[in-house]
A and B are shown apart, each in its own frame.
Chain A
């Protein structure tokens, strides 16, 4: 019955239009509203039949897509319908119609696959029993069915409706709604997914599978082995492939046959009420709640808070998807560490997917750039733009041109070609690299990017060996390595003059706030010693960098610290409307020469302003002054700005407090991320032209409009640090270590980065902290080893499978000793004509990096909700395409994940829940803007841990152990009252103390006798034991009171 019911809706969905427009009303009004009660039930009923049909599902595998439906009666209709639609409508009709279906299933499937993963032990068992994939699939299908059923009705209008819709009807719908965004054709993939649970494991070697999901569950019991073989021939055995992918799914089946049953049943009742609460758990990352979740889904999104919601979910556990069923990032990371962390990653082979960023590995450069420099979303690029569009997998590279390397790896060789400069292709200007083809006995070379044939200059000529390789290939870094540097000639310099060494200017806010908090005194004290550690090049005795000092409140104070002076001289410029630098000589000085004067100055600054009453500050004039100073000194450099308050003094760039929380979730929300005035952009442009990079340290105790203030650092390649409500005793260590790191890090100035690619694709979009005055050159006033540029590529022609796709990133910069250099990174990627190849060579962490940056930029222009929907849609499309083209058919409700993207939904969910895209009540506008700009230049490792924070259980490992404590999945449910946890995301550190943690531990750590006496807030870690935390200094303590 249910099925039937569901069926009819499907066709209706077939019509694309009704689906979208109607979402709310049509679906609700029609089905939910009136029949709602019945339908949901029906849906649930549906699942049951599904189970019955399970066997047929198994069948379904064999007959990839179509097979299944026939076998199962009840499902058949659903599935078929879905598939049919897909088939028919291909993308459009199919998807639209199925959309709803898909959505629902999507959600469900997630749950199911996840469940298995989580329940490793359980999984094992299940596996045991389920050796017959049929059962598994059956379960899944059952899941699906339920989902499917539910979806059917909701599908039409539910997409969005669910949250609003009555609990009863929406229960199932909400999910659909969420996934509704996935629209096209995902439904089918989902169903497949279910079927494919096994697939994941198979993709990689059996062991890996085991590790990846549930170590215990490891393939042994599973059929994965079976699938394994199949995998290689994925193309061949669609179905088989699919199975492996879905490894996760099967386990759940095994375990919960009963549960599943209950699940479906359960859902019915819960659906009405629990939806919202249920959701939250999902947020935690557990897609687990299979049936339950569906209802939950609707609610969870809205509520979303990861931790807060816990209470809700807990009571409802039985009704939700089992969080353990969701693929575990912890496991994936662990597996990758075990499998790939042991051997060096050799870059000689084209298109190799590197180990995960969380894995420690060494890199041997054999012709391609290290993944530390470049990581791609996919190492196998579709040959045509059609394919790329179909897959919807973004093609992007995350480039960190000056990335720091571990000491074991050599930094790039510097090649000096003398006055002639580096050898380049005449047409596309690409630099000589290992992929250039030497022909005609070495007299010419063919450019690997544009195929232009160039003459080899006589001084560069060398004979070729029998393989067509130059005899000296291994003597020349540019012919054998992926990354190397050229010394630039004067042609590459500004004004055709070799640059002078850069300068650092410290610009310190000395308004009342800064003085009161002790910041100025702390900073001045620190600078005295820190100046000995300015970055220097190679073995240089002392840094070539000169320093200058400015203090300011509503006026600026410059200091003459010329070595010949007995005392520093202060020059006040109060004409902030028209800033200029009042002195030339003696402002920028060598630290060693002027040490006495500088020390005296730093001693006196806190004294001079100790009694200040000035609370107003300026901002733009300060940067302007720094820039003018660099201009006058004819050098590039960096400004370190220490700023406390909203610049409200009368001056260019004056800001007003425009913080308005009422704008959140409105179309105007984006204005909170946009700068208030254009003055900042204009200034940034001037800074870039001068090679003036700005690092901003903020110490606000109220709104400072980070969105506006960060414009200049953002566009000049600088960094922003923020210490809200700075207090010396609490934040000193954090600030000082940030400062030390920031001052000491190697940095390049006045840089221009250009990414060249093989004909066929083209860099079209760039994300990061930089400025672009045209469409190809990334201009960076400053670039350090932490800054990352994400580049997106698009096809503009066909790629050739044989020659692959090449990337060359060339960075022209001035080193910290004032040397002009070119750093070249080359990377060769494979090209494919089969989508399966694409999906097998993706890198989820990189994808997330790209998608997060894309979304974070989107909030500048679109409502946040639209951005979130776009993300969801894209993710759904990626998975749908996979399901449709690469996975074996499976039941419609099952989610099928490619092995290397199995964390995509979890991670994406994390992105969706990040502060920027979904602000919690306690998140300030400034924090959101801060995080937004922070993420923009993060590399893959940083985004990985930022979005999926590390949760370490502190008491699980012996205190004496030197290894890192075990990681726990970042879910509130995983927190045990008897344990303590450390949560870190690269930005914050939280210590969570369980209420019933051993008293001895409490005593030793906090020096209080009982849990109740621990005060929330910041505490200084006491060096007790080595829980891997003492080096971190201090952290927040969250007291778990329950």
Chain B
């Protein structure tokens, strides 16, 4: 088994791929009986320091319907029987093999030299209906970001409040902006007309041949190279004022987020279609007017809650969602992405706007204020660079998946949109976003991960010969942050196995972590459109079926139930998943749910697992920190707990520890070890904080502290009001849980 674990890990490191099954059941029927579908988590841009980009273009399989790239191992060539070497490969010899024919290059990255390189574009869309200090903090962050941008990147600025202002950055002296009413929905054409981006008909026709060159020129007024207008923009940002329109008592400020986004999308659509661009929306509250409004400006009417939504009482939700979906789709079609940075104490309409980030691969960041390190550092982290000094972001990617003919593609779940490319390898059964073999991922980073689901279509009566392998190739075209076009090709092959005869084999090749995440993604995907309980029931049923299939037990004897090692953790993941905010909306606002789900749908396997089952470390004098069960039984008076839920980092001091600290022992030299004990979790937390994106909420609490709820809500309620006394009344606290418990 260890071999499989190594294999899995090695594959992940090399290709960024984790399959739920690493040996594939060879017939359709058997595959469906396996409960967990054949699927994989693909991290298309997984960082591969050891992977040198190849400076030439890939060779394509010459059969028009296939077009697979060259494959890593010569052995695989036979899997694509029609493959023929093109003439260029005439000089192949044992000594001089192209990289793609070497086994260690199952993933290969090509750089494409042709085509104009267009600079990256960053369009800031800034809400001015903020509190003074919030706005100030935001302005500083934005100014700071200018120094982080690639110098030749183009930047643009749109501010909005009651009106929407598109700032012209090129002009000297007088600062100039185009102003739009915040209540009027404009078509892309209108926006471009009003911004003067369309040229009169006559010159247009004449200029058509040279149009590509003119492109940058036409748009220079609103999008300028950072190095040119660095100072200007810094001043401009510095002079930004709060929205001047008076807000009367009992009203929300009028915020035209919908129109502002629409204009941002329209602006880029008209000027830089299909080039890498980020629209970065900074908002401090819900849209309150115009298309995409989420709540009215009357403060006495609160923004919708889950309760309202269930009661069908959220009057603006559908319309707003539709508006943002339309924008998101347009943006995706243009290859741009939208980030949403929403910082407010109340909801800001992320529920309605989520698709903007979800469909375009943009980021979604939620905080309480722009004046928090959570926002500031998260924002800063967007511009971090990798070992090559390149920004860890890529744009306008298309993911093309090809399979050998025993497989078909059922769908994908992740920050992508379908490109609606039908083909022989596209299944009719959809899981996630299906019906296509290509997806567009407008914005992605090295951790962006998609779940891709397959269907085995090989019929039971047409067995695959022993030792047969199935192959899948992932081809990702993208624009690197250096503005180069690149293609990364990953080719995977796995053995087929007959379930009847080789069930153990298959069992052993089960990747329970990947499977848990993949199932969770399916569940979350369903939860977006279905009622919560239905999804839970579905998950339960899947778990039960899986246990039936792979568990060993005697009927009527619960204690006899056993799962093999490769399945042992799976039920636990499912348990925590059921309780996670991804499926439970209780105690979360619709915005929070959207936020959590957004991140769940894009993070890689490790992070996803943390999200499903938070990690709990226990620190004590008894030894080095150790991971403990996420269970209320782990909460002990003389321990310090560090919990990482991905979104929060909680440090919890047990009762005794808290008392000691209160008594100030840590300051006494003779208790230096206590001081170290206190410090240890802080250091570890800091380490996590440094690495994570988005920056988690950092909570430092103690026994009885109000913030302890973050811990208590996560742990398995093994001790509750029901069984508290049965456990001998050792504990003076209860954990309330609403459903199943893991232990018992």
- Judge whether B196 and A584 touch: CB under 8 Å: no
Residues facing A in B183-198 (CB within 8 A) are 184, 186, 193-196
- Judge whether B244 and A585 touch: CB under 8 Å: yes
User: Does chain B have a CB within 8 A of A205?
Assistant: no
- Judge whether B176 and A567 touch: CB under 8 Å: no
User: Does chain B have a CB within 8 A of A728?
Assistant: no
User: Does chain B have a CB within 8 A of A804?
Assistant: no
User: Does chain B have a CB within 8 A of A1?
Assistant: no
B179 to chain A: closest residue by CB: A582
Q: Which residues of B contact A584 (CB under 8 A)?
A: 244-246
In whole angstroms, what is the CA distance A360 to B561 when docked? Answer: 121
Q: Tell me the minimal C-beta distance from A634 to chain B in angstroms.
A: 12
Q: Which residues of B contact A586 (CB under 8 A)?
A: 244
Q: Which residues of A contact B168 (CB under 8 A)?
A: 572
User: Does chain A have a CB within 8 A of B174?
Assistant: yes
In whole angstroms, what is the CA distance A584 to B163 when docked? Answer: 11
- Judge whether A575 and B174 touch: CB under 8 Å: no
Residues facing A in B345-359 (CB within 8 A) are none
A613 to chain B: closest residue by CB: B200
User: Does chain A have a CB within 8 A of B177?
Assistant: yes
Residues facing B in A568-602 (CB within 8 A) are 568-575, 578, 580, 582-586, 601
B177 to chain A: closest residue by CB: A571
Q: Which residues of A contact B171 (CB under 8 A)?
A: 608
Query: In the complex where A583-B244, A585-B244 touch, is A574 in contact with B194 (Cβ < 8 A)?
Result: yes
Q: Which residues of A contact B184 (CB under 8 A)?
A: 575, 578
- Judge whether B174 and A574 touch: CB under 8 Å: no
Q: Which of A570, A582, A604, A608 contacts B163 (CB 8 A)?
A: A582
In whole angstroms, what is the CA distance A356 to B239 when docked? Answer: 63
In whole angstroms, what is the CA distance A777 to B176 when docked? Answer: 44
- Judge whether A604 and B181 touch: CB under 8 Å: no
- Judge whether B174 and A570 touch: CB under 8 Å: yes
Residues facing B in A556-574 (CB within 8 A) are 557-558, 565, 567-574
In whole angstroms, what is the CA distance A582 to B193 when docked? Answer: 18
Q: Which residues of B contact A565 (CB under 8 A)?
A: 239
Q: Which residues of B contact A604 (CB under 8 A)?
A: 173-174
Q: Which residues of A contact B175 (CB under 8 A)?
A: 567, 569-570
Q: Which residues of B contact A567 (CB under 8 A)?
A: 173-175
Size of chain B's interface in residues, with CB distance under 8 A?
23
Q: Tell me the minimal C-beta distance from A560 to chain B in angstroms.
A: 9
Q: Tell me the minimal C-beta distance from B185 to chain A in angstroms.
A: 11
User: Does chain A have a CB within 8 A of B180?
Assistant: yes
Q: Which of A569, A573, A578, A601 contacts B178 (CB 8 A)?
A: A573
Query: In the complex where A578-B184, A582-B163, A601-B174 touch, is A571 in contact with B179 (Cβ < 8 A)?
Result: yes
Interface string of A76-104 (1 = CB under 8 A from B): 00000000000000000000000000000
User: Does chain A have a CB within 8 A of B165?
Assistant: yes
- Judge whether B194 and A555 touch: CB under 8 Å: yes
A580 to chain B: closest residue by CB: B181
In whole angstroms, what is the CA distance A568 to B171 when docked? Answer: 13
In whole angstroms, what is the CA distance A555 to B244 when docked? Answer: 23
- Judge whether A574 and B245 touch: CB under 8 Å: no
Size of chain A's interface in residues, with CB distance under 8 A?
23
Q: Which residues of B contact A583 (CB under 8 A)?
A: 163, 179, 244
In whole angstroms, what is the CA distance A584 to B242 when docked? Answer: 12
Q: Tell me the minimal C-beta distance from B201 to chain A in angstroms.
A: 13
- Judge whether A572 and B173 touch: CB under 8 Å: no
Residues facing A in B113-167 (CB within 8 A) are 163, 165
- Judge whether A578 and B181 touch: CB under 8 Å: yes
In whole angstroms, what is the CA distance A473 to B178 when docked? Answer: 63
In whole angstroms, what is the CA distance A569 to B181 when docked? Answer: 18
- Judge whether B165 and A574 touch: CB under 8 Å: no
Q: Which residues of A contact B174 (CB under 8 A)?
A: 567-570, 601, 604, 608
- Judge whether A572 and B181 touch: CB under 8 Å: no
**Interface residues of B: mostly helix, strand, loop or mixed?**
mixed
In whole angstroms, what is the CA distance A571 to B177 when docked? Answer: 5
Q: Tell me the minimal C-beta distance from A555 to chain B in angstroms.
A: 7
Q: Which residues of B contact A572 (CB under 8 A)?
A: 168, 176-179
Q: Which residues of A contact B196 (CB under 8 A)?
A: 555, 574
Interface string of A378-418 (1 = CB under 8 A from B): 00000000000000000000000000000000000000000
Q: Which of A570, A575, A585 contacts B176 (CB 8 A)?
A: A570
In whole angstroms, what is the CA distance A570 to B165 when docked? Answer: 11
Q: Which of B180, B244, B245 contacts A575 (CB 8 A)?
A: B180
- Judge whether B194 and A582 touch: CB under 8 Å: no
- Judge whether B195 and A570 touch: CB under 8 Å: no
In whole angstroms, what is the CA distance A933 to B184 when docked? Answer: 38
Interface string of B474-505 (1 = CB under 8 A from A): 00000000000000000000000000000000
Query: In the complex where A555-B194, A567-B173, A608-B174 touch, is A573 in contact with B179 (Cβ < 8 A)?
Result: yes
Q: Tell me the minimal C-beta distance from B366 to chain A in angstroms.
A: 31
In whole angstroms, what is the CA distance A769 to B163 when docked? Answer: 36
In whole angstroms, what is the CA distance A567 to B175 when docked? Answer: 8
Q: Tell me the minimal C-beta distance from A910 to chain B in angstroms.
A: 50
In whole angstroms, what is the CA distance A580 to B184 when docked? Answer: 11
Q: Which residues of B contact A580 (CB under 8 A)?
A: 163, 181
In whole angstroms, what is the CA distance A574 to B186 when docked? Answer: 12
Q: Which residues of B contact A570 (CB under 8 A)?
A: 174-177
Q: Which residues of A contact B165 (CB under 8 A)?
A: 571, 582
In whole angstroms, what is the CA distance A578 to B178 when docked? Answer: 14
Interface string of B211-243 (1 = CB under 8 A from A): 000000000000000000000000000010000
Q: Which residues of A contact B239 (CB under 8 A)?
A: 565
Q: Tell me the minimal C-beta distance from B221 to chain A in angstroms.
A: 11
Query: In the complex where A582-B165, A583-B244, A584-B244 touch, is A574 in contact with B173 (Cβ < 8 A)?
Result: no
In whole angstroms, what is the CA distance A557 to B181 when docked? Answer: 14
In whole angstroms, what is the CA distance A582 to B180 when docked? Answer: 8
Q: Which residues of B contact A575 (CB under 8 A)?
A: 180-181, 184, 186, 194
In whole angstroms, what is the CA distance A601 to B193 when docked? Answer: 26
B241 to chain A: closest residue by CB: A585
Q: Tell me the minimal C-beta distance from B166 to chain A in angstroms.
A: 9
In whole angstroms, what is the CA distance A584 to B245 when docked? Answer: 7
Q: Tell me the minimal C-beta distance from A797 to chain B in angstroms.
A: 54
A608 to chain B: closest residue by CB: B174
In whole angstroms, what is the CA distance A567 to B186 when docked? Answer: 31
Q: Which residues of B contact A585 (CB under 8 A)?
A: 244
In whole angstroms, what is the CA distance A578 to B184 when docked? Answer: 9
Q: Tell me the minimal C-beta distance from B324 to chain A in angstroms.
A: 22
B186 to chain A: closest residue by CB: A575
* Residue of A557, A569, A601, A608 most packed against chain B (CB within 10 A): A569
Q: Which residues of A contact B194 (CB under 8 A)?
A: 555, 574-575
B190 to chain A: closest residue by CB: A575
In whole angstroms, what is the CA distance A286 to B371 when docked? Answer: 88
Q: Which residues of A contact B177 (CB under 8 A)?
A: 569-572
Q: Tell me the minimal C-beta distance from A584 to chain B in angstroms.
A: 5
In whole angstroms, what is the CA distance A572 to B177 when docked? Answer: 6
Q: Tell me the minimal C-beta distance from A802 to chain B in angstroms.
A: 61
In whole angstroms, what is the CA distance A569 to B171 when docked? Answer: 11
Query: In the complex where A582-B163, A604-B174 touch, is A574 in contact with B181 (Cβ < 8 A)?
Result: no
Q: Tell me the minimal C-beta distance from B157 to chain A in angstroms.
A: 13
Residues facing B in A944-964 (CB within 8 A) are none
Q: Tell me the minimal C-beta distance from B475 to chain A in angstroms.
A: 43
Q: Which residues of B contact A582 (CB under 8 A)?
A: 163, 165, 179
- Judge whether B178 and A574 touch: CB under 8 Å: yes
Given contacts A569-B176, A572-B179, A584-B245, 14 further A-B contacts (CB under 8 A): A555-B194, A555-B196, A567-B173, A570-B176, A572-B168, A572-B176, A572-B178, A574-B193, A578-B184, A580-B163, A580-B181, A584-B244, A604-B173, A604-B174
Q: State the 5 A-B residue pairs at the shortest beta-carbon distance, nearest first.
A: A582-B179, A574-B194, A585-B244, A570-B176, A572-B178
A-B pairs with beta carbons under 8 Å apart, 15 shown: A557-B176, A565-B239, A572-B179, A573-B178, A573-B179, A574-B178, A574-B193, A575-B186, A580-B163, A582-B179, A584-B245, A584-B246, A585-B244, A604-B174, A608-B171
Residues on A close to B: CB < 8 A? 555, 557-558, 565, 567-575, 578, 580, 582-586, 601, 604, 608
